[in-house]
Amino acid sequence: MKYNVINDRLQAINVELSNLLQSAKEVPDKQLIIEKLNDVCNKVESVKELVVETFWETTDRFVEATNVTPSSRKQLKSALKRFKTFEGTLSYSLTFGNINGETLTAFEQWLKDGTRGRNSITSILKRIQRFFSWAIKDQKLNQVEVTITNPFTDFTITPEMYGTPVVLEKAERDYLFDLPLVNERMKKIRDIFIFQCYCGARISDLMKLTTANLHGDILKYVPQKTAKESIKEVVIPLNKNAIHILKRYNDPEGYLLPRMSDTEINRTLKTLFKTVSKERPKGLDRPVGHLNPKTEIIEYIPLHELASTHLARRTFAGLMYAAGQKDDLIASMTGHSENSKAFTRYRAIDMDLKKKATKNQ
């Protein structure tokens, strides 16, 4: 609420009380005074607007008010929670008035000391930056004249650093598809992984797909990560192997695949890759170059350490790109924008993989 509004209201109260006392034959009772004050203040509810919320109450309101997907909301909440934990290392409480570029520099160093990698730190800082951009425009804060200086004007967020994406070779993917497995749980997770290699969907979308998304051998869905920004349907023609996997399951609720958590799938995939590597002559544990996000140095690690649902998604995009498919075609099936940083990395795929994919895809 603006100060001139407050002053006008106080003046109106003063006038009303003066008139009341001058016109009354006797001292007005309490109830009459309250009624007069309520009339002047446009009811008691308006007075409540004078209460200024704390910095952290504002962050909570931001998380709830922002129009994002549930997963993005969770990430915003997590980033701000880390900022609040950082406050515990300081000798003062954080407010809009004392957060500046130096505060962010100290917070960044605190994240590094906690063994956070460069890309993780960048993501956290971008989410906090989003909060400040929102707060500056927030009408409720403007009404109570909270002065907000954007601390990011004096602070530069270090951009993400990515290495060349690791993908499975076509022969490795096909070997996993044909691999006989005894363990039923491992079979299901292998099927989820291979199906993802064939369609490229994010695991969060994959776990929600039902028979309603399947039109013959065509898979259609709207990626939830970008649904708030644009309703853009992804259409994937499925090959015979992908259809074969789906025929193994008949969920009573109509889900196309067994439903499992990302964490459970990733943990089991690492075990599967290690197990297969011992049995297969060429193995599935070849050394692969991986950018260590903490040291920012390329390190060579066994493939099983990168076995995850995201490896499946990368494999779909990587093999498509290596086979010479056009950018716009691949992006239309992965849900990426053509110029996204994540997508452009696939242009750096090793030439040997390109040659193999072109011959065998």
CB 342 within 8 A of CB 163: no
CB 270 within 8 A of CB 304: yes
> pLDDT tens across 117-154, in order?
888 999 999 999 999 999 998 877 766 667 788 999 99
Q: Which of 70-74, 193-197, 232-236, 340-344 has the lowest mean pLDDT?
A: 340-344
User: Amino acid identity, residue 156?
Assistant: T
Please tell me the distance from the alpha carbon of residue 294 to that of residue 233, in angstroms, as a whole number.
Answer: 36
Q: Which residue has the higher pLDDT, 23 or 265?
A: 265
> pLDDT tens across 207-249, in order?
999 999 999 999 999 988 765 556 788 999 999 999 999 999 9
Please tell me the distance from the alpha carbon of residue 1 to that of residue 143, in angstroms, as a whole number.
Answer: 4
pLDDT confidence tier of residue 43, bands split at 50, 70 and 90: very low
Please tell me the distance from the alpha carbon of residue 304 to that of residue 301, in angstroms, as a whole number.
Answer: 8
Region 302-317 average pLDDT? 92
Phi, psi of 237 (to 5 degrees): -75, 125
- For residue 1, pLDDT over 70 is answered with no
Please tell me the distance from the alpha carbon of residue 307 to that of residue 265, in angstroms, as a whole number.
Answer: 10
Which domains are present in the chain? 3-50 (no CATH), 55-154 (1.10.150), 170-360 (1.10.443.10)
